[in-house]
Structure 1
Amino acid sequence: MMGDTGRRRRSGPRQAAWEFFGAELKNRREEADLTQAELGMRVFVSGGYIGQFEQAIRKPQLDVAQRLDHILQTDGFFERMWRKLIKDSPYADYFAAAAELEALATQICEFAPTVVPGLLQTAPYARAVTIATNPLAADEYVEEKVAARLERAHILKDATRPVYWAILHEGVLRLPVGGRATMAEQLDHIAALMRTRTVLVQVLPNEEGAHAALGGMMTLMEFEDAPPTAYAEALLSGNLLDDPALVKRVQATYDLIRAAALSPEASLALVESAAEDYRRCASTT
C-alpha cells in the first residue's frame, strides 16, 4: 500500500480519472476471468504492473493500453481514455506520462546537458525557454506552460519531498537563456535550494565533455512501491523506459557522469560565481 505521501500527491480530477481507468481495467479483467499475472503475460508486462495500473499508482503507456483493448476486447476503450487523459495534460504528449510519475517518485535523479531541468526553473527562465521553442505562440499559451512547469516544482516544497539530485553540465550555467538578469536570478534560485539542502546539485565541468556525450537529458525515478523508471528526452521527443535492463543501463550512464562531476561544495561555488558574473554584466549594460 502507498503511504500518506503517495495518497496526498495522488489527488485531483486527473488522478480521479486515472482511478476510473484502473477500476474499469479491473472490472474488464475479472469479467474475462484473468488474474493480474495472466493479463500481464498477454500484454507483455508483469502482473505487478497490472495491479499498479488498477490502483492508479502507475499509468500505462499507449502501446500497453492498445494491447489491453485487444486482449480484453474493449473496442478501443482504454486507448481512447488514455489519449483523452494525455491530451488534457498541460505537458507535451511525450512528457505527460513522465510528469505523472514524477509526482509519485521518492527519488529523482536528473542529468541536464543543455538547459536547467524543469523542477529547478524560475518563471522568467521557463518563459524564455517556452518562447524560444514556440516563437509565434500566444501569451496565454506561454503562461499556461510556465504555470504548469512551476506547478511541477511544488513537489520540492513539500515536507515529504522526494530526494532530488541533479547534475548540470557547465554549459547550462554559461548559456544566457532569457538574458543576463534572468540567468542571475535562475542561478541564485538553484544556489538557494542547494544551500538549504532542498536539492543536491553537481556541475559537470567543461573539461569532462566526453561524459556529456554519453547521453541527452535523462531522469531516473524511484518509487515507494513500484520498480524504478527512466526517462530520456531529446528534441521534441521523449522515451519512458521501465524495462529493468534498460533502466540499469541508464543508471550506469548516470553513475559515470556523476563520478566525473564536481563535488557539491565546488558546484555551489561555481553556480554562485556564474550568478555573480551575470549580475555584474547586467548592471553594466
Structure 2
Amino acid sequence: MANGSRQAVWEFFGAELKRRREDAGITQVELGLRVFVSGAYIGQFEQAIRKPQLDIAQRIDEALQTDGIFDRLCRKLIDDPRYADYFAKAAELEALATRICEFAPALVPGLLQTAGYARAITLAMNPFAPDDYIEEKVSGHMERGRILKDATRPEYWVILHENVLRIPVGGAAVMAEQLEHVAALAHERTVLVQVLPNAAGAYAVMTGSLKLMEFEDAPPTAYTEAVYSGNLLDDPAVVMRAQSAYDQLRAAALSPEASLALVGSAAEDFRRCATTT
C-alpha cells in the first residue's frame, strides 16, 4: 500500500471514529476512559496524528458497538509488508512513543536513515530481490523517520557505536550524506546524539542493539534485535535492567558536543573521499 493510500485510510479511520463517537453521544474524554487512554489521544486518533494499537481499536469497537470495523481497519494498516514480522509491532509502538532511547552498535538506526543508506542495507540483505521489493522496504524506513518531523514527535536520544561512523555503507557518497543528515538533525535539536568510542573497551561490546520506548498512557517497553529476529520486552524487571545497561552506555559515551564533532569529521572524510574518486 502506497504512503498516500495508507494515510488516506488512517484519515478515514479517524473520521469514522469521530462520526461513530458523536452518533453515540459521548465525548472524547468519555471514550478515552472506556478504552483506557486519554481524551487527547482519542482526538489525535480522530485527526490521524497518532495511530492506535490493535488492542485499543478492539476496545473502541466494543465501546461503540461498531461490529469490528476499527479492528479490521487497524489490522489492514499494521499488516505492513515493508516491515519484517518480528519488527512490525515495534514499528507500531515507535510511532506512539513519547520518548525513545536507542543504542546502535552496527548501523545507523532506521529512524535516522537516508534513502541511499537504507537502500544499500536492504540490497545487501536481499541481493536477489526485485526492485519493487527493495523500494517497498526503503519506503518503510522513510515513513518511520517522519515521526521525527511531527508536532508530537518523541524525545529521541541515540548512542551510535564509533564503528557506525566508519563502515562505508553504500560507498563514500552515501555515507557522507547519511552522517550529514544525522548531524543536521542533532543541530536542529530533533535528536540528541552520542558516540560510544572504541576506546570504551568492554562497554562497546556489552550489549546488542537496544531500543527503549516510553509512552504517555502505557508502561515502558524495550526492544532488542538480532539476525532476523527481534524481541519486545515489557516485563518491568527486564525493562529496568535494559534501562540500567543503557545508562552505563550513556555514561561511557562521548559528550553530545564531542560526539557531534566526531560525526561531522567522519562525514567530511567521506565527502572528501567521494569527491576525489
TM-score (norm 1): 0.75
Cα distance in 1 for residues equivalent to 2:130 and 2:55: 30
SS at match of 2:134: helix
Query: Is the CA contact (8 Å cut-off) linking 1:6 and 1:104 kept in structure 2?
Result: no
**1:42-191 aligned within 5 A:** 87-191=79-183
State which of 35, 38, 53 in structure 2 corresponds to 1:2. Answer: 38
Structure 2: which amino acid aligns with 1:244? P
Counterpart in 2 of 1:232?
A: 224
Report the counterpart of residue 256 of structure 2 in structure 1.
264
User: 1:243 and 1:274, CA in 2 relative to 1: closer, same or farther beyond 3 A?
Assistant: same
Provide closer, same or farther for how the CA distance between residues 137 and 246 of structure 1 changes in structure 2, counting only shifts above 3 A. same
User: After TM superposition, what 4+ stretches of structure 1 lie above 6 angstroms from structure 2?
Assistant: 25-28, 80-85
DSSP 3-state at the match of 1:132: helix
Q: Which runs of 5+ in 2 are unaligned?
A: 1-36
Cα distance, 1:82–1:104 mapped onto 2, change above 3 Å: closer
C-alpha separation between the residues in 2 aligned to 1:217 and 1:134?
21
- The code of the aligned residue for 2:58 comes to F
- Among candidates 30, 54, 59, match of residue 22 of structure 1: 59
Q: Which residue does the alignment assign to 1:70?
A: none
Per-residue CA distance 1:51-71 (angstroms, 9 max, x = gap):
xxxxx9xxxxxxxxxxxxxxx
* 136 and 208 in structure 1: CA distance in 2 versus 1, 3 angstrom threshold: same
Q: In the aligned structure 2, how far is the partner of 1:131 from the partner of 1:6? A: 39
Cα distance 1:236–1:209, how it changes in 2: closer, same or farther (>3 A)? farther
1:209-248 → structure 2 map (5 Å cutoff): 209-248=201-240
Shift of 1:110: 0.2
SS of residue in 2 equivalent to 1:247 = helix
Structure 1 Cα separation of the partners of residues 45 and 138 of structure 2 = 21
Is contact 1:168–1:201 with CA below 8 Å preserved after alignment? yes
The two structures, once aligned, show a CA RMSD in angstroms of 2.9
Is the counterpart of residue 274 in structure 1 residue 266 in structure 2? yes
Query: Contact between 1:5 and 1:160, CA under 8 Å: does it hold in 2?
Result: no
Please tell me whether residue 192 in structure 1 is matched to residue 192 in structure 2: no
- Contact preservation (8 Å) 1:211, 1:260: yes
Q: Name the aligned partner's letter for residue 188 of structure 1.
A: E
Compute the TM-score of the two structures, normalised by the length of structure 2.
0.77
What is the rounded CA distance, in whole Å, between the counterparts of 2:127 and 2:97 in structure 1? Answer: 33
Aligned identity (percent) is: 64
CA deviations 1:185-234 (Å, max 9, x no partner) are 00000000111111100000011131122211100000011100000011
Distance 2:210 2:42 in 1: 23
Residues 229/282 of structure 1: CA separation in 2 closer, same or farther (3 Å cut): same
| Cα displacement string for residues 10-34 of structure 1 (whole angstroms, at most 9, x for unaligned residues) | 839x859665433467799xxxxxx
Distance 2:116 2:94 in 1: 23
What is the letter of the counterpart of residue 90 of structure 1? R
Change in Cα spacing, 1:162 to 1:6, as seen in structure 2 (3 Å) is: farther
**CA 234–26 in structure 1, closer or farther in 2 if over 3 Å, else same:** farther
Contact 2:98-2:216 within 8 A present in 1 as well: yes
Question: What is the alpha-carbon distance in structure 1 between the residues aligned to residue 42 and residue 194 of structure 2?
Answer: 28
